[in-house]
Chain A
């Protein structure tokens, strides 16, 4: 029941996104992230050094992941919590649903979790007859719309305030029609009221984790709304669902990563709430959950270790790569067709659902490199997209016209004399055909180009032939 990928239809998705006027309007809101991140980075002289430090912490942890997982597990158990390992999405869903059933839960609240999206958790919980309520405002909005997140930290970035008003009017039956919801703060107030009741009624709370700390057995969530905290402290049980690469060794290591996380994500120096939870409620505690469970999901991560995609496991899900990606900004997150959009999604998706399904994504990049430039843990995203292209090429999965065209080009390019002859001929012919206007509005074999823009005509003889005519051949 993992979300069905529409990634193989990427081009059709792109077309839909680009012709969706409403979406294109909403996507202008995504343009503010880059400036905020730059300002936050600028404000902290140690930011670049912190990125190096963050990268080193992740690399160290991944190289010793088995041992840190064991150490973490020991500490969780020591603090009275339970650790459940899940090899894949189905196993994780079963564990969580089983825990909810065991609690006799009628409703569960949820903090924002991309792992929950990855494994399609809500559908599984609801199939068991239990209400699952997303409490992050963005997640709540898209849950009402029966959509998936279009951004990993701003899930409803594709939605306008007017859409939200309509969604609330449809879903909130007690909302009087005359109530004014024309301003964003009125929408927030409405959601706050409805969700407050859900928080207080929930039997279990499910959150993700930004970090799991081996030293203390704590799970860490980072939010601005406080919804994750209300999710995890009010119900009888707190269930954490996190993938295995979320482990960091110590509190100091978490501090290093926190310093780059918020700045890279929203441009804040610190997110409003960073919460460390260790085990269940203790003797004398007046609040907090009586049960504490952690579900540790593998789902393809262990297979990425030690290989050419290991660097991707450093990702701390800040969203900076998509916030700076020209492709993401043009089409939004849904066009990517699965859970993770943007450059990180373009690398991760083929790893998690297979290159046959997800192979379009690493191809749909100009390699502009801005993602790598801003990645807080310095993941070489373009290089990894190129790795996927290499795998596709090696397996003969790349499209035939592209292979043929490149093959022909390579044939000439490897034969300099023939190349000079052929390019000389082509340049002259195209020059003669196009010199009067200076450009072509259409050209054979260049439809992908000329459908959208003119193609300049060559100036005539090639540089090399002119140079040789003037100076003679070198050597």
Chain B
């Protein structure tokens, strides 16, 4: 792919650290490379510091100490980046909204966490709101529905941005879900701890997606997507699930989430 996928980005090169997230790292590296492409096409220099987990599973399980330890590690790892960009609203919410809460008793660390939070952005909103990207120059043939992940929507205010960029994708027609703002039932460990309850919630989400008659469901969070794809596939649906970055970067030609893979990937 040499074609520039984005238009409208400003000229200033920026050193952007990609916080790839555990799920993308382990499950779907394509999303990471799509993020890199979008950022580089918009004129950024992308670096990937050694990284692990943002600590959200520990934080949401009541283990603040572990969460704080991992937060410290991440803050240090991205110290020399102008920006930190995350292809996930959920991990983004952790880095941006919750890291500062972890260091209430430590003013120095709290200030660091605040600085870190203020330079950290969810991928799509970084492209539009910070870099000023207005459109992408890629093609995707099909009807897609966009699922708003709860953290993107409510912690980070991401709602119009992905829709705006998707509207510029050639061949793509966007349909709205009746309950786009309702949770998919993933909730991290919730999906495993309360499997039956999570299933009830994602079943309703899957029904909503089927009703919208879209061929592909997109979202900005791999957690939601694994959940939604897993439910659609278990129910025998042909609707495919992809991360929104794959489509925006023009990298949606490989197998969708949970679809048969040919070789060992790239």
B80 — nearest CB in chain A belongs to which residue? A475
Give A356-395 as 1s and 0s: 1 = Cβ < 8 Å from B's Cβ atoms. Answer: 0000000111111110110000000000001011111110
- A471 on interface, CB distance cutoff 8 Å: yes
Q: How far is the CA of A435 from the CA of B263 in the complex (A)?
A: 8
Inter-chain contact B185/A326, CB cutoff 8 Å = yes
* Chain B residues whose C-beta falls within 8 Å of the C-beta of A457 in the assembled complex: 258, 261
Contact A448 B191 (CB under 8 A): yes
Please list 20 pairs of residues, one from A and one from B, whose beta carbons are closer than 8 Å in the complex, sorted by A's number: A367-B60, A370-B154, A370-B181, A370-B183, A386-B62, A402-B61, A410-B58, A410-B66, A413-B22, A414-B69, A435-B264, A439-B230, A449-B191, A452-B234, A454-B233, A455-B226, A456-B258, A458-B28, A459-B265, A474-B47
Q: Which B residues are within 8 Å of any A CB, using their own CB?
A: 20, 22, 24-30, 32-33, 47-53, 55, 57-64, 66, 69-70, 73, 77, 150-151, 154-155, 181-183, 185-202, 204, 226-227, 229-231, 233-234, 255, 257-262, 264-266
Interchain CB contact under 8 A, A414 and B234:
no
Contact residues of A: prevailing secondary structure: helix
Chain A residues, Cβ within 8 Å of B195 = 447-449, 451-452
Residues on the A chain within 8 Å of B155, using CB: 369
**In chain A, what residue has the closest Cβ to B55?**
A413
Known: A438-B259, A448-B195. 20 other contacts (CB 8 A): A11-B196, A18-B197, A18-B200, A330-B197, A363-B193, A366-B183, A367-B187, A368-B154, A369-B150, A392-B62, A406-B61, A414-B52, A436-B261, A453-B234, A457-B258, A460-B264, A463-B24, A466-B29, A467-B32, A475-B49
Contacts of B199 in A (CB 8 A): 451-453
Chain A residues with a Cβ closer than 8 Å to the other chain, count: 74
Quick check: B197 and A364 within 8 Å, CB to CB? yes
For residue A453, which residue of chain B has the nearest CB? B230
Q: Are A330 and B187 in contact (CB under 8 A)?
A: no
Number of residue pairs A-B, CB distance < 8 angstroms:
230
B66 proximity list for chain A (CB < 8 A)? 406, 410, 414
The reply to whether the CB of A423 lies closer than 8 angstroms to some CB of chain B is: yes
Min C-beta distance of B52 to chain A, whole Å: 4
Closest 9 CB pairs of A and B: A366-B187, A453-B230, A393-B62, A389-B62, A368-B183, A452-B199, A456-B258, A463-B29, A448-B192
Complex Cα spacing A14 to B50, Å: 42
- Are B57's CB and A406's CB within 8 A? yes
Q: Min CB distance, B206 to chain A, in Å?
A: 9
Residues of B within 8 A of A326 (CB): 182-183, 185, 201, 204
Q: Report the Cα distance A315→B59, complex, angstroms.
A: 25
Inter-chain contacts of B185 with A (CB < 8 A): 326, 366
Measured CA separation A296–B167 after assembly (Å): 58
- Expressed in whole angstroms, the Cα–Cα distance for A392 and B20 within the complex equals 31
Which residue of chain A has the shortest Cβ distance to B199 in the bound complex?
A: A452
Asked whether A406 and B63 contact (CB < 8 A) given A439-B258, A453-B227, the answer is: yes
Task: Identify B226's interface contact among A364, A456, A463, CB under 8 A.
Answer: A456
Query: Once the chains are docked, how many angstroms separate the CA of A457 from the CA of B256?
Result: 11
Q: Assess whether A130 is interfacial by the CB under 8 Å rule.
A: no
B102 vs chain A, min Cβ distance (A): 11
Q: Which residue of A lies closest to B66 (CB)?
A: A410
Contacts of A365 in B (CB 8 A): 187, 190
Q: Separation in Å of the B234 CB from the closest CB of chain A?
A: 5
Determine the distance from Cα of A461 to Cα of B25 in the docked complex, in whole angstroms.
Answer: 9
Instruction: Indicate whether A409 reaches chain B with its CB closer than 8 angstroms.
Output: yes
